[in-house]
Structure 1
Amino acid sequence: MFDPATTALLRAVLDEVCEGVSRFETGARTHVASRILEAAAKGDTAPESLKQVGREALHDAPTISR
């Protein structure tokens, strides 16, 4: 479990990375969130690093339409 400040950071990073992703593309958003959470759980909580992890995950994420 993360403290409130880290949780807010993770949410902000997810929202920024998925800014252009429809809220209905839950598979893609879940994939990105999972990767960001994995990085944070390993101690990586630097915002820019988490954004990079998120961008890489978004590139590989499943989408509704391709």
Structure 2
Amino acid sequence: MFDAETTALLRAVLDEVCESVSRYETSARTHVASMILEAASKGETSVDGLKQIGRSALREAPIVRN
């Protein structure tokens, strides 16, 4: 588990990275969140590092078209 400060940081990074992604595009957002969480759990805590990981994950994220 992450402390409140780290959780807020991770949420802010996710929101910034996914600012152009609809909140309803859950598959892409979930993929990005998963990659950010994985990096944080391995010790990556810098904002720039997490954003870079998030952006990379977003480029690889599955896009579901209706």
TM-score bucket of the superposed structures, by smaller chain: over 0.9
**Corresponding residue number in structure 1 for 2:44:** 44
What whole-Å deviation, never above 9, does each CA across 1:18-60 have from its counterpart, x for those lacking one? 0000011100000000000000000101000000000000000
| Residues 1:32 and 2:32 aligned together | yes
**Corresponding residue number in structure 1 for 2:21:** 21
* TM-score normalized by the length of structure 2: 0.96
**Corresponding residue number in structure 2 for 1:64:** 64
Runs of 4+ residues over 6 Å off in structure 1:
none
Q: Alpha-carbon deviation of 1:64?
A: 1.9
Give ranges in structure 1 of 5+ residues lacking alignment: none
The percentage of counterpart residues that share the same residue type is 71
**AA paired with 1:53?**
I
CA distance in 2, matches of 1:38, 1:5: 17
**Corresponding residue number in structure 1 for 2:54:** 54
CA distance in 2, matches of 1:13, 1:3: 16
CA distance in 2, matches of 1:43, 1:4: 16
CA distance in 1, matches of 2:5, 2:46: 12
CA distance in 2, matches of 1:16, 1:64: 21
